[in-house]
Structure 1
Amino acid sequence: MKKLLKISIILLLCLCIRVKGETYYGRLRGGENIGKIYIKKKRADGFTHYMTANFIYLDDKLVYCLEPYVIISGNLVEFDVYNKYYNLSEELWNRVKKIAYFGYNYKDKYHDHTADYWFVVTQVLIWKELTSDEEIFFTDKLNGNKISLFEEELNELRNLVNNYETLPRLNLKYDMYLGKEETYTDERNLLEYYDIEESEMFSFKKEGNTLTITPRKVGRSVIKYTRKSINYGRLPIVYQSNLDQDVMETGDIDEIVFYQPILISGGSFNIKKTFTENIDKYTTMGAKYNLINEEGEIIKILTTDENGIINIDNLPFGKYCLKEIKAPEGFIIDDQLYCYSIDENNLNVDITLYNKLIKGKIEITKVYASSETGIMTPEVNVKFGIYDESGKLVKEVTVNNDGKINEELYYGKYVLKQLTTTDGYEMMEDFYFEIDENEKVISKVIADAKIITGSITINKYSDDKEPLEDVVFGLYKENKLIKTYVTNNEGIIEIKDLDLGKYEVREIETKEGYEIDNKIYEINLTKENNFIKIGAINKKVVILEVPDTYKNV
C-alpha cells in the first residue's frame, strides 16, 4: 500500500493514454560505493533515511531510483516496463529525463560528467525534483551533519536541463540576398549543439557557435535547426513494481526543432537598348550580350526583345559585365565593356545602352554627251529622289555644278530615281543600291542618258507636183549656217539626229528653170514635237516669147 493513493490519482488522470509495457523479472541491488559520500533524506513527516552513496543496478543495468524513501528489497521481483513514468506530470517527467541524460556519463566540449561522483550528483538532483517539501543533503559522515558539497556540479546540471529548450539567439535577418554571404554568432553559445538541414535554397557553414549562410535561390525558405540527443539510441526505460523501488534507465531525450523563416531576393538588370538617331524605321530588337561574372565566366547570353528591352532577375550579389556580341540589324556593334554591381544599395539596376546606325555614302556623277561635239558634260541642276525599300521618299537632291551628288545615308536598301532632266535628254533608269556596311561608299558615274534628237524632212517638188532634184537647202541655228543639204532624185532631204531646239531652213540654190523659194522655214524641235516635215514648192521660170512684130523695133 506504499504508493496506492498516489498511483490511483495518476491512473485516473492518465487512463486514456497509459499503455501497459512488457514485464521484466530482475533483482534491484546496490552496487559499489562511490568514495566517502554520504546522503541524508528527511521527509516532512519526520521519517529520515541516511546512506552511503553507491551505484544502483537492476541486474547489470545502471539505474536511478525514482522513489526517495523506498528501500531496495534486493529480491527478484516482477517489474512493469514503460518508456515514461506515468506517476509524474509530463513536465516533471521531462525534467527527470533530462537530468538523467545530462548527468552521469554525459560529455561534450564544455562538460565532462564521466567521474563516478556524477552518478551521485545526478541521483540527488532527481530526488530533489521529485520531492518539493523535503530535505535531501550531503553529510560529513554517515548520519552526520549537513555540509555543502557538489553545489557547483548541481548548478551545472540544472543549467544544462534548464537551457536545453532555450534556442540560440543569432539575430538572423529575414531578408537575405542571393549570393550575399552573411555570418551570425549565437549570443547564447548554443548553436553548436544544433544540426542544420541542408537546403537547395542556401548553403551554410557552421563552426561552433558561428553560422555563415549564402543564399542560392530566390524565394521564401526556412532554416531548420535540430538539436538531437541520441547518446543512447533509445528512449528512457522505466521499471515499476509494487514490491520494490521504481527505477529508470537513462535514454535519449526529445529533440528540439525550430525554424527560422527567410526571404531570399536577387538583384536585377533592366536594360534598354536605344540609338541616338531616333529614326522610327529602325529597331534595337535582336541585340545579344554576354553576361559575365567576376571570374570572367559567361553565365548567360541576353537578347533584346522587340522593344529593345532585356530584363534579367534573380542575380546574386556581385559584379557583372555586359559585352555586346551582336548588334541589332543596321547598327554598329558596341565594343565597350559595361560593368555594374549588384548589392544592397544597387539591387535593381537600370541600364541604357546605345548603338550607332550604320552609315554610308552615295556619290553620283551625272554627265551627258553633246550630240554635236560628243564631249561629256556635267548635267547640272537635275533633281533626283532617294527612296527607301518601302517606296518612301527619303531625300530629294540636286546635281551640283560639278555634276555630282554626295549624300550620307543610314543602313538600308534604296533606289535613286531621276526626277528632272536636261531638255533633249531622257531620264536614266532607276538605280538600286544598299548601305550594309559602315562607311561604305557607293560610287557611280551615270553617263548613259539617251539624247532626244529631232529630224527634219524636206519634200521639194514643182508646182506641177514633180520632185525636184539637186535643190540646195541650208540649215541655220541662231542665224548661222550649220550645214547644207541637197535634194535627192525624189526631191527629198532627211536631216536626222538634230539636237532639240530652234532652227531655220532656207533654200540656197534651186534647180535650173525654177524660181528660188525665199521663204524662211522656222523650226522648233521639242520632246513633244521632234519630227518636222516641210513641203516646199518651186515654180517654173516663165520665159515670155517676144512677137515678131516687136522685133527689130
Structure 2
Amino acid sequence: MKKVEKILRVVLCFLMLLSTVSLNVTNVNATNYSLSNDGNFFIRFKSSNPNANWNTSSGIWTLGGEKVFCLEYDIATEVGNSYVPTDEYTTYSASKKKYVNYIAYFGYGYKGDKSYERYAATQFALWSYVSNYEYSFAAYDGTMPNKSASTGKANHRLNYDEFIKDYNEIRKLAKEHFEMKKPSFHNQTIVLNGIGKENATVIKDNNAVLSDYDLLKDSGLHIEKSGQSLKIWTDSLFDQSRSCQLILGDEKRQDEMGKPLVYSSGKAQKLLRAGFGDADYANFQVIMGTGSLKLAKKDNKGQYVPHVEFKISYNSDMSSPLGTYTTSSDGTVTINDLYTGAIYIQETKVPSHLILDPTIHKIEIETDKTTTFTQMNQWKQGYIQVTKYDKKTNQVVQQAGVEFDILKDNQWIETISTNNNGIAKSGLLDYGTYTIREKKAPQNYVIATLTESQFVEENGKIYEIAIYNEAVVGEIELIKED
C-alpha cells in the first residue's frame, strides 16, 4: 500500500503547451491556486528511457477548477501545493508552441470527449513529445484502490483499447497539423470575373488541406467550401480588394480552450493549463478582375469615324455612367480598367452626316484582355425631286424625258428624267450639298441655264426643287401677194 501511495504522490505528467508561431503573451497575476487531485488513472506504462521502469498510475490534476497537465516528468508535486501563473510559456520556441498547440487541441475535450482515457492519452502524447521518448503500454490488471489516499476521489482503471485509440489519434492529428502546409492559394489574390453566382470563381487547394480549415472572414463575399475547393462570388462590384481568412480547426473550440498558461510552485512539478494559442490562418485577397474595351466607329462605307461619343455603364438602364468617351482621329477609343463582366454601351453623339444609333449594347469584358466593339452608322440620305414649270404660265410642263444632272463637288452623281407629270426624282443621296443642272430641255422650251443648289441634311426627306423654262418664241413672216 505504501508503494501505491508513493506512486500516487509522484506526478508523471506530460507537456501540455499551446500556440502557433506567433502567440500573444498571456497577462498573469499573482493569484495563488491550490493543487487538487481528482483521483488517479491506472494503466501500465514504460518509456523508452533505458533506465525507466514500468509504472501503473498517474494523477488527474486541477488548479482553480481547471484541468492541468504536467510539464516535467520525474519531478514530484503534492496535493495542496500553492501554484502561481507565470509567463514561462512565452519563452518556448515557435515550433514547440505549435506542436503542443495541436496536442492540446486534439487532446482532452476534443469533440466533447472529456473521458479519463482522453485525459491520460493527452498527457502521454505531451510527455512523448517533450521527452522524445516512446511509450509502451499494457492494461492494468492488478488490484486498484478505489479512492485516492490524498483526496478520497475515485480512481479509474482505463479502458485499454479506448486509451490506445485516443493516444494514437492525438499523436497522428497533432503531427499532421504541425507538418501541414497551408492551402495552395494562401497569400494569393483571387480574381472575380463578374457579378453573381453564375460568374463565381472556383479555386482548388492543390495541397489538399482545405477540408481541415473553416471560413473565418468573408468580407461580405459569398464563399462556399466543398472538399478541397472554394467557390467565391459577389452580388455587387467593389473597388478595394477584400481580405478573406480561413482558420485551421474549430474556432469555437479554440476560444473555449482559452490561452495556455504555465504554473509554478517552487521546486515542484510545473503545470500547464491546456489552452490554445494563436491559430493557424490561411489568408487571401479577392479583387474584381479588370480588362479593357476598344470602341470603334465605322460608317456604312467602311470608313472609321472620329468624334463619335459613347457613354458606358455597368447598369443596363445606363444609370450611373462611368463617363463619356470620344473616338479619336483613327475612329477608335480604348477604355482601361473596366471590371470583368457585363458592361453597357450607348452612342450619344455622332458627326452631323451620320444617323445616331441610341441602341444599348451589352458587352462582356474579360480579365486582362481587350474586348473590341465596332458599331456601324448609316449616312443620312435624302431625295431631290425636280418639277418642271413654264416660266410664263407657272404651270407644270407635263413632258417626259426632261433630263437633269446632279453633281456634288463638281462630280457627276446621276442623271434624272421627268416622267409624264413633269417630275424627276433622284435616288437616295448622301448627306451634303448638291448642284442640279438641266441637261435637256422640254420640247419647245429654252434650256434653263441657271443651276440650283440643294443641301441634303435630313434622313429620308424629299427636297423639292422647281425649275422654270421659257417657251421658245418664234416669228411669223406674212407676205402679201396680189
2:378 is equivalent to residue 359 of structure 1:
no
CA deviations on 1:45-88 (whole Å, 9 max, x unpaired) are 746473434421235332111122122223443535225075x6
2:164 is equivalent to residue 160 of structure 1:
no
Q: In the superposition, relative to structure 1, how do residues 136 and 290 fare at CA in structure 2: closer, same or farther (>3 Å)?
A: closer
Question: How far apart, CA to CA, are the structure 1 residues paired with 2:116 and 2:268?
Answer: 25
Q: Bigger shift: 240-249 or 215-224?
A: 215-224
Q: In the superposition, relative to structure 1, how do residues 82 and 139 fare at CA in structure 2: closer, same or farther (>3 Å)?
A: farther
Q: In the superposition, relative to structure 1, how do residues 360 and 103 fare at CA in structure 2: closer, same or farther (>3 Å)?
A: same
Deviation at 1:248, TM superposition (A): 0.9
Deviation at 1:477, TM superposition (A): 4.6
250, 265, 272: which is aligned to 2:274? 250
Question: How far apart, CA to CA, are the structure 2 residues paired with 1:405 and 1:19?
Answer: 102
CA deviations on 1:211-243 (whole Å, 9 max, x unpaired) are 212375689877543335633364211012234
91, 110, 114: which is aligned to 2:95? 91
Q: In the superposition, relative to structure 1, how do residues 243 and 85 fare at CA in structure 2: closer, same or farther (>3 Å)?
A: farther
Q: In the superposition, relative to structure 1, how do residues 358 and 349 fare at CA in structure 2: closer, same or farther (>3 Å)?
A: same
What letter is aligned with 1:121?
A
RMSD after superposition: 5.2
2:94 is equivalent to residue 72 of structure 1:
no
Match of 2:232 in 1: 213
Match of 1:198 in 2: 218
Match of 1:441 in 2: 462
Q: In the superposition, relative to structure 1, how do residues 341 and 181 fare at CA in structure 2: closer, same or farther (>3 Å)?
A: same
What letter is aligned with 2:66?
K
Instruction: Find the structure with the greater CA-based Rg.
Output: 1
30, 33, 38: which is aligned to 1:26? 33
Question: How far apart, CA to CA, are the structure 2 residues paired with 1:211 and 1:341?
Answer: 24
Question: How far apart, CA to CA, are the structure 1 residues paired with 2:379 and 2:202?
Answer: 50
Q: Which runs of 5+ in 2 are unaligned?
A: 1-24, 145-158
Question: How far apart, CA to CA, are the structure 1 residues paired with 2:314 and 2:410?
Answer: 41
Q: Bigger shift: 115-124 or 147-156?
A: 147-156
Aligned-residue identity in percent: 17
2:124 is equivalent to residue 124 of structure 1:
yes
Question: How far apart, CA to CA, are the structure 2 residues paired with 1:311 and 1:122?
Answer: 65
CA contact (8 A) 2:71 2:272 kept: yes
CA contact (8 A) 1:183 1:210 kept: yes
95, 99, 105: which is aligned to 1:101? 105
Question: How far apart, CA to CA, are the structure 1 residues paired with 2:193 and 2:104?
Answer: 45
182, 189, 193: which is aligned to 1:178? 193
Deviation at 1:178, TM superposition (A): 1.1
CA contact (8 A) 2:191 2:287 kept: yes
Q: In the superposition, relative to structure 1, how do residues 375 and 265 fare at CA in structure 2: closer, same or farther (>3 Å)?
A: closer
SS in 1 for 2:79: coil
Q: In the superposition, relative to structure 1, how do residues 30 and 41 fare at CA in structure 2: closer, same or farther (>3 Å)?
A: farther
Deviation at 1:94, TM superposition (A): 3.6
Q: In the superposition, relative to structure 1, how do residues 71 and 364 fare at CA in structure 2: closer, same or farther (>3 Å)?
A: same
What letter is aligned with 1:82?
D
SS in 1 for 2:96: helix
**Comparing both structures, which one devotes a greater share of its residues to strand?**
1
SS in 1 for 2:385: strand
Question: How far apart, CA to CA, are the structure 2 residues paired with 1:19 and 1:289?
Answer: 56
Q: In the superposition, relative to structure 1, how do residues 272 and 393 fare at CA in structure 2: closer, same or farther (>3 Å)?
A: same
What letter is aligned with 1:106?
Y
2:251 is equivalent to residue 225 of structure 1:
no
Deviation at 1:287, TM superposition (A): 6.2
What letter is aligned with 1:153?
D
Match of 1:57 in 2: 62
**Comparing both structures, which one devotes a greater share of its residues to helix?**
2
CA deviations on 1:295-314 (whole Å, 9 max, x unpaired) are xx667879662345464663
SS in 1 for 2:32: strand
Match of 1:414 in 2: 433
CA deviations on 1:221-273 (whole Å, 9 max, x unpaired) are 77543335633364211012234221011112221123346776345553422
Question: How far apart, CA to CA, are the structure 2 residues paired with 1:291 and 1:30?
Answer: 69
Question: How far apart, CA to CA, are the structure 2 residues paired with 1:426 and 1:20?
Answer: 111
CA deviations on 1:328-374 (whole Å, 9 max, x unpaired) are 64444669997766679x96443433232222110113344479xx9
CA contact (8 A) 2:181 2:209 kept: no
Q: In the superposition, relative to structure 1, how do residues 190 and 442 fare at CA in structure 2: closer, same or farther (>3 Å)?
A: closer
| Higher RCO (CA-CA < 8 Å; seq separation 6+) | 2
Question: How far apart, CA to CA, are the structure 2 residues paired with 1:190 and 1:279?
Answer: 56
What letter is aligned with 1:212?
K
SS in 2 for 1:364: strand
Question: How far apart, CA to CA, are the structure 1 residues paired with 2:285 and 2:312?
Answer: 37
Match of 2:154 in 1: none
CA contact (8 A) 2:84 2:263 kept: yes
What letter is aligned with 2:233?
T
Deviation at 1:161, TM superposition (A): 1.6
Q: In the superposition, relative to structure 1, how do residues 156 and 275 fare at CA in structure 2: closer, same or farther (>3 Å)?
A: same
Match of 2:308 in 1: 285
Q: In the superposition, relative to structure 1, how do residues 39 and 409 fare at CA in structure 2: closer, same or farther (>3 Å)?
A: same
CA contact (8 A) 1:80 1:240 kept: yes
SS in 2 for 1:84: helix
